[in-house]
Amino acid sequence: MLSNFLHGNSNGTVTPHSMHQSPDASDSEMAADKATTSAPKQSNPPPRRKRIVVAMTGATGALMGIKILIALRRLNIETHLIISKWAEATIKYETDYHPSNVKALADHTYNINDMAAPVSSGSFKTDGMIIVPCSMKTLAAIHSGFCDDLISRTADVMLKERRKLVLVARETPLSEIHLRNMLEVTRAGAIIFPPVPAYYIRPSSVEDLVDQSVGRVLDLFDLETGDFERWEGWKKE
């Protein structure tokens, strides 16, 4: 009898295998619902702030870089600042700011020789870079791909990752070498932005001209400063 129960026989005696019944469809659905309910819900990460790298070189025009940092701070843009040694000297010579005050305007600052900084990697997501002012030395380094400091390396990253790179080039007159370098980096995807003054705004100060250039630079990133007058046609007296 026990043997028949364990092994079954040809008379249809029930075996342990024949006693096991597959769960019906409703049981399967309940198990699936339970698994779905108990599984942890994946929440979407909060959207990050727009992130822009700002670099300042030793060319004249330090006030433009400072004004861009102030504007980006007001617009709640996350800024990553790189200042060269000669940019620090120019800041002290041309403005009432100290380099430490300028660095305090940014969310993050890096030493120009820190080639391991986050901005040196293409895996670090940014929305672009502004070099303001941009010296002809830095322009030449970007054109040749000679990344011997963090500014030129980060600019190189912007080009290879197809991100926006704006060079506020400060030099006049321009030699054929300067023009060739500008042409080549433009072909590679950069934007050359000479801070050409707009006299139609009838500026009453140098700061009016600087604000206009800063506003036009940030236009390239779809950012509105509201600090300058836009052209709206001839004004009737």
Q: Is 79 marked as a binding-site residue?
A: no
Q: Is 58 marked as a binding-site residue?
A: yes
In sequence order, which residues have a C-beta less than 8 Å from that of residue 93 and are 6 or more positions away? none
Q: Is 138 marked as a binding-site residue?
A: yes
Question: In whole angstroms, what is the distance from residue 118 CA to residue 57 CA?
Answer: 19
Q: Is 200 marked as a binding-site residue?
A: yes
- Residues across the chain: 237
Q: Select from 128, 132, 121 the least CA-distant residue to 194.
A: 132
Q: Is 136 marked as a binding-site residue?
A: yes
Whether the CB-CB separation of 159 and 128 falls below 8 Å is answered with no
Strands 129-134, 165-169: pairing kind: parallel
Q: Is 57 marked as a binding-site residue?
A: no
Burial 79-117 (b: 16+ CB within 10 A, else e): bbbbbbeebbebbeeeeebebeebbebbeebbebeeeeb
Q: Is 170 marked as a binding-site residue?
A: yes
Q: The tokens of 112 are what? A: 């120009």
> What is the phi/psi pair of residue 130, to 5°?
-125, 125
Q: Return the beta strands (E) in the chain as ranges.
A: 51-56, 78-83, 108-110, 129-134, 165-169, 191-192
Q: Is 187 marked as a binding-site residue?
A: no
Q: Is 199 marked as a binding-site residue?
A: no
Question: 162: burial class by Cβ within 10 Å (0-12, 13-18, 19+)?
Answer: exposed
- Which residues belong to the annotated binding site? 58-60, 84, 135-138, 170, 200, 216
- Which residues belong to the annotated binding site for FMN? 58-60, 84, 135-138, 170
- Which residues belong to the annotated binding site for dimethylallyl phosphate? 200, 216
